[in-house]
Amino acid sequence: MRVRTVLGAAFAAVAIAAATPALAHDGGDHVTKNFEQAIPNIPGKSLIAFVVDYAPGGASPPHTHAKSGFIYAYVISGSIESKVNDGASRVYKAGESWSEPPGATHSISRNASKTEPAKLLAVFVVDTDDKALTTPIK
C-alpha cells in the first residue's frame, strides 16, 4: 500500500507539472516547487515535487541531495543530460526517467540541446524535517 500511495502522488505531480507553463531563463535553470505533502501512512516522510525548466544550453550547478531523499526524475519535454554518483553520463528524452539514491551527488544536470528548452520533474521522498534538499558542491 505504501508504494501505491507514493506512486499515485508522484503521478499526480507529473500531471500537475505537465500543465505548468515554462519558466526557463536564459543561461540556466529555473526551479519551481510544484507539490508538497506529508505522506500520511509513512510517518516522518514527505513527498515534494519540483519542476526544473532549462533554457537552451542551461544547466544546474553540481550538487548533492539530502541524505534522506530518494528522488524520481522524469523528463517532461526536451532532453536532459544527467550523471549521478559514479554512474555514466546519459541523455534522457521526454518520457524517460531515472532515480537517485539518498545522499546522491549530481555532477551533471543540464539541457542536452543548445536550441530547445527542456523540462524535468523531480519528485523527492524525504524526511519531513529536511529543509536543504539540494546543496551546491563547492
Predicted pLDDT at 2: 54
Q: Is residue 137 part of a domain?
A: no
Q: Which domain holds residue 105?
A: 2-130
Q: What domain count does the chain have?
A: 1
Q: Between 2 and 66, name the one with better pLDDT.
A: 66
User: What CATH number has the domain bearing residue 50?
Assistant: 2.60.120.10
Contact between residue 33 and residue 128 where contact means Cβ atoms under 8 Å apart:
no
pLDDT tens, position by position, 63-113: 888 889 999 999 999 999 999 999 999 999 999 999 999 989 989 999 999
pLDDT tens, position by position, 48-68: 999 999 999 999 989 888 889
Measuring CA to CA, which residue among 28, 107, 126 is closest to residue 64? 107
Q: Is residue 69 part of a domain?
A: yes
pTM: 0.78
